[in-house]
Amino acid sequence: MKNLTFFVFLTVIISSCKQERKDPAIFYYPAEWEPQEAILLGWAEREPEFFPLAADVARALEGSTSVIFVSDTSENPQVFKEYLVENGLDTASFTFLTIPIRQALALRDIGPVYLINGLGEKKAVDFRWSYQDFFERFLIEKGEEPDSAKVYASFFDRNQKTDSLIAARNGIEVITSSLNLDGGAIEVNGKGTILLNEEWMFMVNPTSTKESMEQELQRTLGVHHFIWVGKGLVEDGDVSKIIIPGYVTMGTAGHTDEYIRFANANTILLAWVDEKEKDLHPVHTENYLRMKETYDILIKAKDQDGRPFKIIKVPMPDLRHRPNVVVEKWAMSDSTIGKEYFAPDQGVQVGDTLQYLSSSSYLNFLISNDKVLLPTYLHVGSSSEKEERVKEIFSTLYPDKTLVWIDATTYNWDGGGLHCYTKQVPKVN
């Protein structure tokens, strides 16, 4: 009798889940390959080194997806417009939006997470941007008084309002969440499944449980099937912690868009270090161990309908790093890095030379309607054999889309990439 009762209960649960997915009124976070209305791109006059990336992405999307350029209210859009015109772009075809924003080039992480449903309606989720709370805890760890740490971290307050402000400009209802979650850490297949970096989620939500985070993600994103995966790439590490002795990076500490992506509802792309490379460098060795851990999780995982995933291993571009000398305070340049960026237990001293890693990855790509924008590394001497393999993978996955190769290496040195720089606005029917 107990077995029969359990069977009936299980049948009801499964049936209700399937019915929920078919209900057109239910909101969900659409997969990136679903139709898009526009792409958000940021720019800042104080960071002109990123203007070429903005122009290249906008040019790649011409005739395919509308582009909305976002900047802080203090910026003069005419400066940027003149640059675009000089580079052969028609500014009349773009929308320019100004809002109070601290880091316009981080729209993937701080921009709105748009939800849609089958009735043609749209909402947006306003998660907390993780770095502000993380930075506050980091300052306390360094000996700062809690009240002072909160004041210093409030420098990033504008970033916390970015998603709500952009959504409000378009009259879109906003769902507020206290969960720390960046857009680059959200990877969904549009059918109810989400991939989550377990270490990263607990790092930015230290007082939460796995159950509470899953409940909040189900409430906000409409997902109901959770796959918790292993650590991210060394190149995407947290600057305050040295993972490999002598190496440092300015990454996100493990956003999924650097190492694991859905290619379609049942296919997962995973960054991979080849067997013949894994022992050639300590960074390769650590990355191999991390990706192998996630691969072992994925081969046992099932999708929301109980089917195994197809897993495709994607080569990583050749390792790139440059020497940076440790200097006083919070300084940062192409050749220096401030001591204050590091946690006290890291033993970093002024005058040390550390190898600064570029956050390079072929998986930091963007799908937008009939285009796939991919980073290229051939011009910086990376393996043509690897890039040709990446081309084969994406050409097979997306035979009806045009592959556009873009130089995003400037952003790689800043801890991001093409996907980090962009944010899609889904189209509703």
pLDDT digits (tens, 9 = 90+) for 117-140: 999 999 999 999 999 999 999 999
pLDDT digits (tens, 9 = 90+) for 308-326: 999 999 999 999 999 999 9
The confidence score (pLDDT) of residue 11 equals 42
Strands (E), 385-421: 402-406
pLDDT digits (tens, 9 = 90+) for 161-194: 999 999 999 899 999 999 999 999 999 999 999 9
What is the CATH number that goes with domain 2-320+358-426?
Answer: 3.75.10.10
Query: What 3-state class would DSSP assign to 324?
Result: strand
Torsion over CA of 71, 74, 80 and 81, rounded to 10 degrees? Answer: 90
Backbone angles phi, psi at 352, to 5 degrees: -65, 150
The confidence score (pLDDT) of residue 16 equals 44
Which amino acid does the sequence have at 195? L
Segment among 264-278, 314-328, 338-352, 370-384 with least mean pLDDT: 338-352
The confidence score (pLDDT) of residue 25 equals 93
Whether the per-residue pLDDT at 256 is higher than 90: the answer is yes
The whole-angstrom separation of Cα 10 and Cα 16 is 10
334-347 mean pLDDT: 92
Vertex 362 angle, CA 342 and 210, to 5°:
60
Whether the per-residue pLDDT at 13 is higher than 80: the answer is no
**Band of residue 21 on the pLDDT scale cut at 50, 70, 90:** low
Entry pTM: 0.93
Burial of 186 per CB tally in 10 Å (0-12, 13-18, 19+): buried
The whole-angstrom separation of Cα 128 and Cα 298 is 28
- Nearest C-alpha neighbor of 369 from the set 58, 59, 56, 63: 63
Mean pLDDT score of the chain, rounded to an integer?
A: 94
pLDDT digits (tens, 9 = 90+) for 25-69: 999 999 999 999 999 999 999 999 999 999 999 999 999 999 999
